[in-house]
Every structure is written in C-alpha cells, then in structure tokens.
Amino acid sequence: MTQNRNYGIFSIPVVVGALGYFVDIYDLLLFGIVRKQSLMDLGMQGDQLVTQGERIISWQMAGLLIGGIIWGIMGDRKGRLSVLFGSILMYSLANIANGMVTTVDQYALVRFIAGIGLAGELGAGITLVAELLPREKRGLGTSIVAGLGLTGAVVAFFVSQSFDWRLCYYIGGALGLLLLLLRVSVFESGMFEAAKEAEVEKGNLLMFFNNKERFRKYMVSILIGLPTWYVIGVLVTFSDQFGKAFGIAENIMPGKAIMFAYAGISIGDIVIGFVSQAMRSRKNALYLFYFLTAVGILIFFNQGARDAATMYWICGFLGFATGFWAIFVTMAAEQFGTNLRATAATTVPNVVRGSLPLILLLFKSLRGSMAYATAGLITGGVVMLIATLAAIAAKETFGKDLNFLER
C-alpha cells in the first residue's frame, strides 16, 4: 500500500520510526547496562566479567553484521515494511528468550540471534522516512527518528535500576511486540513501489563491489561511522575499567555511563539535524561533530583520578559529540538508488556495529605492550584518523533527489 502525500517531520512514519528505534536501542544496549549483574548471576567473577562481556558483545555485534545483510537485501526486494515487521518479531522473541538463559554460552547465542533481529530496524526505518519525506525535510526527519529513538538507552538504564536483569529483557521483548501493532498504520514507500516495476536488480549486495565508484561510496559510508562504536563499545561500556586505570576511587557503573552517553547522543542527533539544515551540508556538520568527538576523547583520557560524577559527565559529552548516527545513516541512504537504498542503509550501520570486535581486538593487542589507558587512547586515534579520511572522501548529499535507480 502506498501513500503519495507530503509528510511532515512529526508525521506518523517519523513518530512510529522513532518508537521503533527506541525499542531497538533499548534492546541493543541492555546487555551493556546489565552486563555485570547478569554475568555475576550466571557465576562469573573477576576478570571473567570483562572477558566474557567482550565475548558476548562481540557475538551480538556479529549478529548485527549478518542481520544487516539479510534485512538489507530483503528491504530492497520485499519492501521496507516487511523488514520492519520481521526484524521486530525476531528480536522481541529473542529478548524474551534472553530472560531464560542459564549459561554464558546460551547468553552469547541468544544475543547473536537478537543481534540479527536488531539489525533491520534502523536502516529500514531511515530509508522509509527518507523516501516519504520531501528532500528539504529529510535530514530533520531522520534526526528526529534517531534522536528520540536513542532515548531507549536512558529508559533501559532506569528500568535496570528497578527490576531484575531477566525482567528487563522480558520488558524489551514485550515492547517490541506492542510496536508491531503500531507498524500497521505506516504505508510503504512510493519510490519502492515504483522501483518494483523497473527491470533492474534489487538488493544485490554484489553491486556494491562490481563497480569501482559504488564500492568507494559504500566503504566511505561505513568508515565515517566508526567513532560512534569506539566511544560506546570501548570507552563507555568499559568505563569501569578505565576508572580503575585512572585511579578513580569510586566504582564506575557502566550502565549509568551508557545512560549518560545515550542521553547525550539523543540530543546530539537532533541538534546535528538542525546544524546540517542551517549549513545546508551533511559533511560540514559531520566535521564539526568529529572535532567535538576528538576533544571529548582527549578530555576522557586526561581526567585523572577525579570522581565518578566527572566520568559520567564526560561520557555524556562524548555521547553528544558522537550524535552523528542519524546523519551518517542518512548519508548512506542518500548515496544509492532506490533498488539498493535499503541494502545500503541497513548494512552500513551494522557493518559499523560489527566492526566493534575488530576495534576491541586492536585494543586488546595494544594492552599487551602498554598501559590500559594508553592502549585505549591509541585505538581512538587510529579510529578517528580512518573516519576523518573517509569523511573527506565522501560526497555531499544534502538535498539530493532520491528518485533514481542503480544500474
């Protein structure tokens, strides 16, 4: 079913997209928030809380990487809405199952399955909103989807403070199933419906690799998002370990650090939409937030033995600075034609998420020859350098007409 009317930035597709991403982020970040509590309940202690935590989050991110490919292809072949329904159902049931695990191996397996399901929500939602909204409102609409959706991490933290970790997963699953009812009110993209009749390949992942220019755009789209998961997956998730390395006497709560970071990201994602609109440029807004991210990283590693409150506020600032997730995914969607757009917008952010095990691998290898904090700082420097070079190579997409096909 299609709809040809002009949608506003607070229309049903945007609001439902934001609620969908809210549930997605709640479930995606919940493990980082309840990591210690849940692993201790499963019998882990000491260094196991770190090593098994890294293992489980790596499996979750691997699921996101695989799921991004599956849902992206389906989004261009079967429709954006089919992905939204299928992915929500999968991760909702997985999160309910997560509340029933009794071993770390089961935990890793279920987070892997949940990761596959979680991979479809953002890319399909951003693609749908980008195609339904007029070009002059597109960036604002996707920023609102991401900005409001990212508050799911804040809610996840407060829920974790009130309920057992197993119940937190049950709540996430229930929210996802409720979301399915709201999806019924959203129409399919008219651009997708028109593209169905065109004699072109749809959702063919190989098309990103059989053309030099498309491959360049695809790789650039991925690399510009790397700093987000370095900050969240390394600095914020393991803020308790960094706190010890800095000599902070108080115990840092990773869940609280994640809450502060995502509150910042939520604000940043909305702000960058308006900044991009004012500058009439995606790239210039991205450069500004890269600069803030670099400043935040330097502040993080130079805080010394302050206190827990300082750590949380620095995580909040880092979150705001990396609040370019919406612009980054929107740029990926705007780079490619309608027959590859969902594949691009779904695989790109999930390849970035799936890159976290590689970032952690670099971090762990450096820890063998230098101090914990030094290894973290050098890892950040490498990530920021790669992302900045990619951003320079990216093409400006502000105001681009999306009604075209890849051949």
**pLDDT category, 4, cuts 50, 70, 90?**
very low
The pLDDT tens digits of the residues spanning 282-322 come to 999 999 999 999 999 999 999 988 899 999 999 999 999 99
* 403 DSSP assignment: -
Provide the pLDDT confidence category of residue 100 given band limits of 50, 70 and 90. Answer: very high
Residue 187 has pLDDT above 80, yes or no: no
| 210 pLDDT more than 70 | yes
Q: What is the CATH number of the domain that holds 171?
A: 1.20.1250.20
Q: How confident is the model at residue 2 (pLDDT cuts 50, 70, 90)?
A: very low
* Residue 296, pLDDT score: 97
How far out from the chain centre does Cα 202 lie?
24
Domain count along the chain? 1
Domain that holds residue 290: 12-186+200-393
- In the predicted structure, residue 173 carries a pLDDT above the cut 90: yes
In a domain, 2, yes or no: no
Q: DSSP label at 188?
A: B
What pLDDT does residue 29 have? 84
Is 53 within a domain? yes
C-alpha 258/C-alpha 32 separation (Å) is: 8
pLDDT band at 1 (very low <50, low <70, confident <90, very high): very low
Does residue 259 form part of some domain? yes
Q: Which residues are registered as beta bridge partners of 327?
A: none
pLDDT digits (tens, 9 = 90+) for 125-136: 888 888 888 888
Residue 119 inside a domain? The answer is yes
Contact between residue 343 and residue 205 where contact means Cβ atoms under 8 Å apart: yes
Contact between 110 and 166 under an 8 Å Cβ cutoff? The reply is: no
pLDDT confidence of residue 21: 87
Closest by Cα among 289, 1, 334, 287 to 138: 334
The average pLDDT across 152-176 equals 93
Q: Which conformational region is residue 251 in: left (phi greater than 0), alpha (psi within -120 to 50 degrees), or beta?
A: beta
Residue 385 lies in a domain: yes
Of the pLDDT bands very low, low, confident and very high (cuts 50, 70, 90), residue 5 is low
Q: What is the pLDDT of residue 227?
A: 97
Neighbour count for residue 7 (Cβ, 10 Å): 17
Task: Please check whether residue 193 lies inside any domain of the structure.
Answer: no
